[in-house]
Chains A and B, each alone.
Chain A
Amino acid sequence: MSEIIIETRALTKRFGGLNAVKDVDARIERGKITAIIGPNGAGKTTFFNLVSGTFPLTSGELRFEGEKVDGKRPDEMARLGIARTFQTTSLFDGATVMDNLIVGHRLRTRSGLFDAIFQTARLREDERICRDKAEEALDFVGLRHIANRLAADVTQEERKRIAFALALATDPKVLLLDEPAGGVNPEETAGLADLIRKMAASGLTICLIEHKMDMVMGLADHIIVLDHGVKIADGSPGEIRSNPLVIEAYLGAGHDAAA
C-alpha cells in the first residue's frame, strides 16, 4: 500500500463569488510524479497556492504527512518540506548563479544579525552548509559549469533548472513545479523531463502543472484533472486519456456529435 504525503478533502477557495477551487479531494503519493492538468482557468495554480500556503483555504482540509496544515504560511510550509517553483523565476540578475542559490538553504539555518555582525563560528558554519547545499543542487540539475555566470546571462532552460536547484536546496520532501517546461523548446523539454524523473528517483515527491500533454503523459504516474475549479478525473495516464469527461473539457461539448 503506497503512502499518501499530501491529502486534500473538499478543498475550496472562493474569490468573491468565484469558486477558483471547489471541493477538490486529492491524494498525492510519496515518491511518485503527480500531474495536475486542465484547461486555462481550471484552478491549477490556485490549487498549488493552497497547498503551499500562499492562500488560506475558504473551506476544506489540507494534510501533509497526516498532520493538518491549513492556515500555515508559505515559509512554514517550506520548512515542513514543501518546496515550489513558479511559472517565472525571478533571480537577482546582478549576481552569479551560485550567489543566487546560497539563500536556498537559509531556512535550515539559525544564525541571525548578531552572528553576522560578529562573524561567529555558527555563521561561518551555516554559510559553509548553505554553499555546499547550493553546489550539490547545482550538480544535481547539471549546471555546475555556469556557477559563476551572471544570472542575467543564463538561457530560459538554464533558468528553469536554476529554479529546480533553488527548490532542491531547501531540502524538500515534496516539489510543486508550476509549468516546469513552459517556454522551452521540445528538445529542452525532454531534458527537463529526465531531470524531473531523476528527482523522483532520488525519493522526492513531485507534483507538477503542465500544458505539454506529451510530457505529462510520458512522465506522470498519476494525473488529476481540474476544470472550472472542480476535479473531473483522477487516474493513471491511460485512464485519463480515455476518460470522456476529460476529452469534453479539453475539446468542448459536442465534439463527439461533430465527429
Chain B
Amino acid sequence: MKLDSRLEYGLYAALLAIAVAFPFLASNEYQVYVMALAFIWAIAAMGLNIIVGYTGQLNLAHAGFMAIGAYTVGLLTVDYGVPFWIAFLLAGPLAALLGFLGGLLSLRLKTHFFSIFTLCVGYIIYLLIEKWDTLTHGTVGVIGIPAPSPIGPFTFDNTRSVYFLVLAFLVLAIFVKRRIVRSLVGRSFVAIRNSDELAEALGINLMRTKVLAFTLSTFYAGLAGGLFAGFVRFLGPDLAREYHTFDMVAFVLVGGIGTLMGPVLGAIALTWITQSLQFLETYRMIVFGPLLILLVMFWPNGIIGTYTRWQARRRESGGAASAAKRKSKELHDEARANV
C-alpha cells in the first residue's frame, strides 16, 4: 500500500512536471492555447464524472451548466463592470445553485428518464441564452470579456500566463476531487451507482446524496465555464449545446469512467487526436467514430480503469503467490525437522 501511494505521488509529480514544461517545449503558441483549452474541458469533464462516473446518473445538461458559469463571468464583466475575479468567484456557486434546483427536480427520475429529462434541461438553458437577448446578447454573443486581472506579481495578458492559471485550477480541482471521491461521501456515490436499491438498504439517503453529487458536478462545470470565459474571451450560446456534453461524455469514457484522472487524460488525448485529424476536415469523424467504438468495445473501463484493474489483480495474485511460497517453505522446514 505504501509503495503504491509513493508510485501514485510520483506519477502525479511527473505529470505536473510535464504540464509545467509544456509551454516551454511547445513549438508555437497555438499548441499552448489548445492545451489550456483541453485543461478547461478536463475540469468540466471531471465534474461530469462525479455525477455520471461515480454516482451513475447520466446527466446530459452538463454543457448548459458550464455555459451558466461562463455567462456569469461574461455578462457581469462586460455589461455590469464587475471586476473579473469577483465575477469568476460567482461562476461556480451560481452554476451549483441552479444545479441544486435542477437536481432536486430531475433526480426524481431514474435511469434513461433522467438522461432524457436533463437533455431537455440542457436544451432549455441553450434556448434561454439564445432567445433572452436583452440579458445574454442572444446569437450575437458576449464580446470583449476582459482577461483575468493581475494577482499581485502575476499578470494574465498572454496565452502562456493564462495556461498556468488554468493549470493551477486543474491541479486544485484534481486535489479536491481526490479527497471527495476517496472519502465516505465518495463511497456513498459509488454505492448508488452500483445499485440504488442496495445503497438505500445500507442506509444511504438516495435523494440527498444524488443532489449533492449533482450540485458538486455543476460547481465544476461553472468553474470551468468561468475559466473558459476568461480564456477565450468570447461567448456564444452554442457553448450550452448538447454536443459539448457528448464530447465530455467521450472524455470520461476514453479516460476511464469513475476514475480520478480519467476525464483529464481523456480530455487531453481526444483534444489532440481531434487536432491531428484536422487535415481530414469533416471526414475526421469517419476515423474518430470507429476509434471510439473500438475503445469502448475493448477497453470499456477506459485507460485508467483498465490499468487499475490490471494492477489490483497483479497485487492480489502477487500476495497469493508469496503466501503460497511461505506455506511451501514451512512444509519444507517441517519435513526437514521430521528427518
Contact = CB atoms under 8 A, between A and B. Distances in A.
A binds B: yes
Interface of A: 52, 54, 73-75, 78-79, 83-84, 86, 89-92, 94-96, 99, 102-104, 106-109, 111-113, 115-117, 119, 123, 126-127, 130, 148-150, 152-153, 166-167, 170
Most chain B beta-carbon neighbours within 10 Å: one of A89, A91, A92, A94 = A94
Given A149-B316, A166-B202, A109 B193 contact: no
A74 B212 contact: no
B312 interface: yes
A54 B309 CA distance: 34
Given A94-B309, A150-B313, A116 B202 contact: no
B179 interface: yes
B70 interface: no
Contacts of B305: 94
Contacts of B316: 96, 148-150, 153
Contact of B312 (A113, A150, A167): A150
B77 interface: no
Nearest to B203: A107
Most chain B beta-carbon neighbours within 10 Å: one of A106, A109, A126 = A106
B204 interface: yes
Interface of B, secondary structure class, is helix
Interface residues of B, number: 36
Contacts of B206: 75
B258 A94 contact: yes
Contacts of A54: 197, 200
Interface stretch (B106-114, B182-190, B238-246, B284-292): B182-190
Given A116-B184, A127-B183, A150-B316, A103 B202 contact: yes
B276 to A, nearest CB: 31
Interface string B235-262: 0000000000000000000000010000
A113 B201 contact: no
A47 to B, nearest CB: 15
B197 A113 contact: no
10 contacts: A74-B201, A75-B203, A79-B203, A86-B201, A92-B190, A94-B305, A102-B187, A103-B188, A103-B204, A106-B202
Contacts of A115: 183
Contacts of B205: 73, 75
B309 A150 contact: yes
Interface in B171-202: 176, 179-180, 183-188, 190-191, 193-195, 197-202
Given A86-B198, A107-B204, A116 B185 contact: yes
B216 interface: yes
A116 B183 contact: yes
A119 B178 CA distance: 11
A78 B184 contact: no
A89 B202 CA distance: 12
Query: 6 nearest interchain CB pairs?
Result: A107-B203, A78-B203, A116-B183, A90-B195, A103-B187, A74-B200
B319 interface: yes
Interface of B: 176, 179-180, 183-188, 190-191, 193-195, 197-206, 212, 216, 258, 301, 305, 308-309, 312-313, 315-316, 319
Contact of A94 (B176, B203, B308): B308
B186 A78 contact: no
A113 B185 contact: yes
Nearest to B312: A150
B300 to A, nearest CB: 10
A168 to B, nearest CB: 11
A80 B126 CA distance: 45
A214 to B, nearest CB: 28
A9 to B, nearest CB: 24
A162 B218 CA distance: 35
Nearest to B200: A74
Contacts of A117: 176, 179-180
Most chain B beta-carbon neighbours within 10 Å: one of A113, A126, A153, A170 = A113
Nearest to A166: B202
A3 to B, nearest CB: 24
Contacts of B308: 94
Nearest to A88: B195
A113 B195 CA distance: 22
Nearest to A52: B201
Contacts of B204: 75, 103, 106-107
Contacts of B312: 95-96, 148, 150
A170 B191 CA distance: 14
Given A75-B204, A78-B203, A126-B184, 16 more contacts: A75-B201, A75-B202, A78-B201, A83-B201, A84-B201, A86-B195, A86-B201, A94-B308, A103-B190, A103-B202, A108-B203, A112-B185, A113-B212, A117-B180, A123-B184, A150-B313
